[in-house]
Structure 1
């Protein structure tokens, strides 16, 4: 693929006056939205600015999704498809998604750009037309499966997606990779699947042009991933609510850059993050994409241009790591996933420990693990961070508990203050039997994920019984 062809595909990242173009797209949406039931309940008028509207969450839209009417939505009802979330946090939620949102040209550009940029080695792009891209996501009616089916038909001429049957069960897709890995150029799958199932089965490193994962373990394990695949992992931002909304950063592995053509994004500063579900809320200060600051964390608020969700508060915390990507020469902010907004461990109101911190502590403590989940439990009068770990080999529980505590104590100021002030070790480790997470995931629907923080009580009991 020539440099000119590549630049043409990713040219939207370099367009000028994107703010003005977004304002035009917003005005078009607001005008249409003002004529719908959803818009009227939000108080939308034809001339409303986006900042005049309330922030929204899933409960506001729930009644429209469950009992849809023709006058409620932006587009005719026969152009909507039902999509459900995987239910990683809380129960699965049904959505009605405009078919043209997932199949929009802007979304196709983002998908193709993600594939291309995932092969950038820091010096050049290694993507070639016809490259084979392995994808292991949940099939329809889950959002990832619905979106990829549409995008495959629209953007698949440049690359081949495998397995061709998206409806294969998760384990069958894993077997497909193991049997065909030498023919695969790019891959999208969970980190745990790559490191703990595929790599041991293949038994040796193998070469990929690009590896993409939304798994939070990708960042702390990026060096191990490169040892196995020859490439650093890349990441993106995708969800039922946003579709595929960002492309990978090259300068910052596992960082991503929002596509300005898909949605308007605002940001709530971390200290004001909304962690409880609500229908509508007003008078919450947000920061524009242009005004985010590196080193600060934010909760995104999204308004897709071609779907009904408006000022929808996402349950994530993102960290801005840079105002640009110098390798790509792109002057748009780069973000990394930090944590779920409601997935941060607070002990005795001292700590704010994220999943990434725990993953890093495990890696530095050299704990051999398949996966883990953590809970805050009260023992006596004190709160403890209890880690339920499935080790990948025989371990001394006291030794790994000591090592994890040491890493958290040295790297987390609040954890150290809690330990010193209350004079106790606020960490406990419990070992799970071999195969516990594998058995648990095989029984789950949707995209197989481990809720490493905040696992629902019924699912936690199911894990313990696995």
Structure 2
């Protein structure tokens, strides 16, 4: 029976228990599911050509043995098989291949196979998200057939392109604009079309990257406000009398309050989902714009949809049937950063501690390819149970990508090698650099580069901070197409430059007897570096004037 039929024929309690019943598990019951599914996956994986290749002749018979003798993996371990789409070597036959950026400037793309079992699990868990994002308490939700959803998703072969197809197999959802049409439109055209259709039909759901949802929401406000100045000639008047009345009422209220029209003035959104990184930079403003707080879920190319918040919006729970989860504690992460050859220890879901940060490690279930795979994402365990949610499971807040990657608004994966490629291509006489992910006074993400130029360079005597930023930006866009999309799609210019005095890095190495990490060193290390030079700004200004 499809989800749409269940909504008509089954009790809300039964539907809730089928899709969201995992929230009632205690940790022992949760781990029983994890271990049972992992044993099934281990049998498939070790028997596959991929498993045999990675095991290098080892024989693994249990999850315990796997964790003790098989090292953690990264995409490099799978690339030769997956990039050729060697389905014959995998634990189960792939139905579809999903694509994303691997590493800008070094590896263009990476792909991940999805089996029939993975797609079925994805479908059920996306429906769980749909239920939970409309819920106000346990077993109370308002999803129904015929709801409309504003299209804010990247199309296939990207992971978010799976969602419309998964939903349409189970329930009638009207996407604004329709998926086939939306995929042919530019980002701006899609927003305008979606807004016009929303004014005619209403908007029930909205799902997208947090940064994209924010940009689209601001665009809707601007479109609605610009219609206000058309003296009755705008297309917004070609709607039903009821929606026209609401628009005119919103126009009067906003004029009185001296503000632009917001989406919440025009639409009654009942389900709002955001994914990706940096969502905490946008949630408060999105809630203000729509009148409903976004529910965060976590989905990625390799792991699929693995986690969701509930009606409380106070942390994500991981679905027990998508992946087998391991967690690298922060202390182990730091050891690995200092010594890349160090193999960090992991703990399981029933061993995490409240308040601690962890890098997640996944083994994809249901015939997936990835085993003990480092996705590159860091979470903090918020608590081990919740009286509000009535749960006895750990829940998590997403923190960011791992320290050696700078991700801006869910669009980029900037690594040390990518930045070094940009520096080399720029032709600038840069002696040394480091890059840090920071947040502006408006709580928006940016990349801050600290740059030292060579003392004998003519460039070092003539370049200003603005020229350096402009020059490097050109090459960041050339090396990393996702970086280019930050400006094209979101209107963001994420690069901040600080020029350091010549010799600052050498002075730091001499003073502190260590070399700085190039990507995201500690705040203390950055402060110590900048403290080695006095009146930096005045020195830069004087040099620029010369």
Mapped contact 1:103–1:150 kept (Cα < 8 A): no
Aligned to 1:57: 74
Cα pair distance change 1:219/1:376, threshold 3 Å: same
Q: Any idea what the Cα deviations from partners look like across 1:33-68, whole Å, max 9, x if unmatched?
A: 122121112226351423132211111111112335
Structure 2 residue aligned with 1:378 = 451
Greater Cα shift, 15-24 or 57-66: 15-24
Q: Could you tell me the TM-score, scaled by structure 2's length? A: 0.62
Give the 5 Å matches for 1:183-332: 183-189=202-208, 190-203=212-225, 204-205=261-262, 206=264, 207-253=268-314, 255-273=315-333, 283-306=343-366, 307-332=368-393
1:143–1:262 distance in 2 versus 1, CA, 3 Å: same
The within-5 A match list for 1:164-183 is 164-166=178-180, 167-169=183-185, 170-182=187-199, 183=202
Render the CA deviation track for 1:115-145: whole Å, top value 9, x for unaligned. 1212234688452312322332221222321
Runs of 4+ in 1 over 6 A off after TM superposition: 274-277, 386-392, 425-428
| 1:400 alignment counterpart | none
Q: 1:257 to 1:141 in 2, by over 3 A?
A: same
Q: 1:30 to 1:218 in 2, by over 3 A?
A: closer
Aligned position for 1:135: 151
- Of Structure 1 and Structure 2, the greater helix share is in 2
* 8 Å contact kept, 2:406–2:447: no
Question: Structure 1 residues 252 and 419 mapped into 2: Cα distance closer, same or farther (>3 Å)?
Answer: farther
Q: Aligned equivalents of 1:331 and 1:55: distance in 2?
A: 29
Partner Cα distance (2:535, 2:207) in 1: 39
Say how many residue pairs are matched.
389
Counterpart-to-counterpart distance in 1, 2:82 and 2:334: 23
Do the aligned residues in 1 keep the contact of 2:176 with 2:198 (CA within 8 Å)?
A: no
Which residue in the other structure is 2:524 paired with?
A: 414
- Of the candidates 156, 181, 189, which is equivalent to residue 171 of structure 2? 156
The change in CA–CA distance for 1:218 and 1:142 in structure 2 (over 3 A counts) is: closer
Quote the Cα distance in structure 1 between the aligned partners of 2:537 and 2:119. 47
1: distance between equivalents of 2:351 and 2:536? 38
- Taking a change above 3 Å as real, the CA distance of residues 149 and 223 of structure 1, as seen in their structure-2 partners, is closer
Inter-CA distance 427–376: structure 2 relative to 1 (3 Å threshold): farther
TM-score, with length taken from structure 1: 0.71
Conserved? CA contact 1:302–1:313, under 8 Å: yes
More deviation, 109-118/336-345: 336-345
Task: Note if contact 1:134-1:187 (Cα within 8 Å) is conserved in structure 2.
Answer: yes
Counting only pairs closer than 5 Å after superposition, residues 301-450 of structure 1 correspond to structure 2 as 301-306=361-366, 307-341=368-402, 342-343=404-405, 354-355=437-438, 358=439, 361-363=441-443, 373-379=446-452, 414=524, 418=528, 421-422=531-532
Any conservation in 2 of the 1:298–1:318 contact (CA below 8 Å)? yes
CA 1:69–1:314: 2 relative to 1, 3 Å: closer
Q: CA contact under 8 A between 2:126 and 2:163: conserved in structure 1?
A: no
**What corresponds to 2:43 in structure 1?**
31
Once residues 85 and 425 of structure 1 are traced to their aligned partners in structure 2, the CA distance between those partners, rounded to angstroms, is 44
The separation in 1 between residues aligned to 2:129 and 2:535, in whole angstroms, is 44
CA distance in 2 between counterparts of 1:137 and 1:262 reads 22
Distance 2:361 2:535 in 1: 38
CA distance in 2, matches of 1:171, 1:102: 33
Deviations 1:210-232 (A, max 9, x none): 22222544324333222210111
Structure 2 residue 22 is the aligned partner of structure 1 residue 22: no
RMSD: 4.0
Unaligned runs of 5+ in 1: 364-370, 398-411, 429-466
Q: Compare CA radii of gyration and give the structure with the larger one.
A: 2
1:264 match: secondary structure: strand
Q: Is the 8 A contact 2:205 2:269 kept in 1?
A: yes
In the alignment, does 2:19 pair up with 1:9? yes
Query: Which residue is 2:519 aligned to?
Result: none
Secondary structure at the counterpart of residue 275 of structure 2: coil
Q: Distance in 2 between matches of 1:20 and 1:426?
A: 58
CA separation of 1:47/1:126 partners in 2, compared to 1, >3 Å: closer, same or farther? closer
Deviations 1:78-130 (A, max 9, x none): x44232104575644242413315421x3222101111212234688452312
